Amino acid sequence: MFVVRHTRCVMPSRRLDIYRALPGNWGEAAAELIRVETSGEWKDTNPTFSLYISDIARIVDKARPTFWRLLGAGHTYNALRTKFDPAGSYLPSLESVRSKPSPESLELVSKIERVAPSEILASVQRQLLEGRITRDELRQLWETYRPVLGGRTKRGRGVEAPRYDVRNQLMRVSLEESNFMAIMTRGGPGWLGIQGPANLYRVVHISANKHLRRVQPSVPDAVVILAEKEDSPLVLHGVEVGSSLSLLKFSSRYKRYKTDVDYLWFACHDKLSRREIADIPKEIGLLTPGPNCLEVVRAAKLARNGGKSKEGLLRMLLREVSKN
C-alpha cells in the first residue's frame, strides 16, 4: 500500500504574522493569499492549494473557512475597485483595506451579484465601497433575492455558484417579486405617506419563507410591520405581488386575505386601465414599481375585521424579525 504524503507548509514568519493579525488587516492577508494562489507558490510545499489553505489555518490556529472567505472577498474587492475606480484615484488598494468593507459584506455582495438586476447591483456595490450600506442591510437584501435561486447553493470549491437564468420561467417570476421586495425594503416607508424614517419599518418576505407560508397560507407575499413613532401602535400592511391576471384571482379572495392585516396592497407588474382599477375592491391599495421606490396608484383603506388573527400573525412576524 502506498501512502501519499505532502510536505508541510513552511513560510517566513513575517507572512504568518500577516495571517495571525486577522481580522484587523484582512486586506493585507487577502492580498497575500491571492499572490500565493496566482503565482503558484503553494506548489513548493503542498500538492494542492486547498491543502495550503488547511496548513495555514492549522499553523495560525484559525478556522479554515476564514481563509476561503478572505480569498473570495479579496477577489471581489479587486473586481469592484477595477469597475468603479480603475485609475486607483480614491479607493485604497486591497493591501491597505483594514475593516471596511468587511469580508462578510463583500461575500454578501458577491451572492447578490448572481441574481439582482444590474441597476440595483451597481447601486449596492457603490454604496458598499462608500460605506453607505450596512452588513445587516446587505443580508436582508440577499435574503430577498435568495428565493430566486430556488434554494440552490454553491457546494464545494470549483463548483460553479448558482445564478439567475433568464430562460427559467419560475426564476423570472420569482425575480419580479424579489425586485418589488428589494425596492420596498431599500426605499423605506415613503410609499405609506411617511416623511423620513419610521420608528419601525420591517418587510417580512412571507412567500420566501417556507415555514411562514405553511403556517400562514392566507397571508400575502409580504407583510410590512410599521410603527411611525415610538409610541405608535404596530400596523400591518400586507402586500401581494403579481400581474394583472393574478390580480383578478387575488381580488376574488379579498375577504380571506384581509382578516390578518390592517391594510392590503397589490403590487402589479402591469399598468392597469381605469376600468380594471374600478373593478378591484376599493380597500385594496395598488402599487407599481418606480426606478428607486414604489409608486402608489391608489392608497389602501383600513381592511381588517379585527380579532386574534392579527395578534397571532404579529407575534410570529416579530419572532422572525428578532432572528435577524
Length, in residues, of the chain: 324
Q: Which residues of 75-97 are buried (b: 16+ CB within 10 A; e: fewer)?
A: bbbeebbeeeeeeeeebeebeeb
Query: pLDDT tens digits, residue range 11-38?
Result: 556 678 888 877 778 999 999 999 999 9
Instruction: List, in sequence order, every residue forming a beta bridge with 272; answer none if it has no partner.
Output: none
Please give the residue that has the higher pLDDT: either 86 or 303.
86
CB 223 within 8 A of CB 204: yes
What is the pLDDT at residue 268?
87
Mean pLDDT for the stretch of residues 49-54:
93
Least confident segment among 64-68, 117-121, 192-196 = 117-121
What is the pLDDT at residue 73?
96
What are the grid coordinates assigned to 260, written together?
Answer: 390578518
Mean pLDDT for the stretch of residues 252-257:
72
3-state secondary structure the chain: CCCCCCCCCCCCHHHHHHHHCCCCCHHHHHHHHHHHHHHCHHHHCCCCHHHHHHHHHHHHCCCHHHHHHHHHHHHHHHHHHHHHCCCCCCCCCHHHCCCCCCHHHHHHHHHHCCCCCHHHHHHHHHHHHCCCCCHHHHHHHHHHHHHHHCCCCCCCCCCCCCCCCCCCHHHHHHHHHHHHHHHHHHHHHHHHCCCCCCCEEEEEEHHHCHHHHHHCCCCCCEEEEEECCCCCCCEEEEEEEECHHHHHHHHHCHHHHCCCCCEEEEEECCCCCHHHHHCCCCCCEEEEECCCCEEEEECCCCCCCCCHHHHHHHHHHHHHHHCC
What is the pLDDT at residue 156?
46
**Which value, in Å, is the radius of gyration of the alpha carbons in the chain?**
24
- Quick one: how far is CA 20 from the chain centroid? 31
Mean pLDDT comparison of 96-105, 174-183, 246-255, highest-scoring range: 96-105
**How confident is residue 285, by pLDDT bands cut at 50, 70 and 90?**
very high
Residue 70 has pLDDT above 90, yes or no: yes
State if pTM tops 0.75: no
Instruction: State what percent of residues in the chain have pLDDT above 90.
Output: 38
What is the pLDDT at residue 12?
56
The chain-wide mean pLDDT, for the chain, equals 84
What is the pLDDT at residue 164?
64
Mean pLDDT comparison of 179-183, 253-257, 306-310, highest-scoring range: 179-183
Query: pLDDT tens digits, residue range 128-158?
Result: 999 999 998 888 888 888 888 875 555 445 5
Query: pLDDT tens digits, residue range 179-224?
Result: 888 888 888 899 999 988 899 999 998 888 888 888 877 788 899 9
List the domain boundaries for the chain: 1-99, 107-164, 176-322
What is the pLDDT at residue 2?
42
Closest CA to 179 of 159, 197, 164: 164
Residue 127 has pLDDT above 80, yes or no: yes
